[in-house]
Amino acid sequence: MTIGFIGLGIMGRPMAKNLIKAGYKLAVYDKYAKFDDIVALGAATASSNKEVAAQNEVIITMLPNSPHVKEAILGSDGVIEGISAGKIVVDMSSIAPAASREVGEALKARGAAFLDAPVSGGEPKAIDGTLAIMVGGDQKSFDTLKPVLEKMGSSVTLVGDIGSGNVTKLANQIVVALNIAAVSEAFVLAAKAGVDPVKVFDAIKGGLAGSTVMNAKVPMILDGNFKPGFRTELHVKDLQNALDTAHALNVPVPLTAAVMETLQALTVDGLAASDHSAIVRYYEKLAKIEVRR
């Protein structure tokens, strides 16, 4: 099986590397990023998205948002111009479910299959190949691609038809954002009250309040380390897609809207490129206290 990989940013780069390490033959392309390190590992290069599609059986995209995916797949010199019947396109970006369905329909008209397969876990899990991958699409294509996806993730789940993967990812991002906000409120309160936040973490992480989010983000907060893993600006994008999708379905999401405004405030403060654990900075600013060791 030959694989073309489009999009070699913070997430796509380690994911592509894991496929090469697993023995897959890769051809790579990114319109905006350099990828000499991927080529050094043995990947071939392509000159366009169209060429990636023409030369490979499976095409994986990992791009920032819906417009980028639509440009790469449906745009001029895009994947759709090089695709042929029987090939499979897997978009692992986090985008609007409606955009996934639009792309899937266009590829179906060319005889190609499509899976939307967004991921959760951020850069650390992309590097070690333990992402959670939520997939929308048909069972046959999923079964064909599952061994490939398992080289990038420790959890690979088919959740429904095309678009379902990104609906699931939006649900995931709501839970993550609200969890970080709750952790931030709680630890700012503890610090302001004069209680050692390290001891608070040790006391509550094993109880009902404990979570994967807490375990991942509190140590970063305590160290004042807001180097991304997952950038605030990307969570803004995900929550905007969540709000748009929810509103289209007449589903009220007031807590999501509130955290979105927190993220917007961080953006105004110049923290768009910081890790989303910087949500704590918003609460620290309000309370005039820092949560540190």
| Residue 114, strand partner residues | 89
Of the candidates 193, 195, 224, 206, the one whose C-alpha atom is nearest the C-alpha of residue 292 is 224
Among candidate residues 87, 169, 217, 237, the one labeled active-site is 169
Give the tokens for residue 248.
């289209």
**Angle of CA points 126, 212, 143, to nearest 5°:** 50
Residues in the chain, total: 293
Sign of the torsion angle spanned by Cα atoms 38, 165, 238, 125: negative
Active-site residue flag, 25? no
Three-state secondary structure string covering 65-95: CHHHHHHHHHCCCCHHHHCCCCCEEEECCCC
Please report how many Cα atoms fall inside a 13 Å half-sphere around the Cα of residue 187, on the Cβ side. 36
Catalytic residues: 169
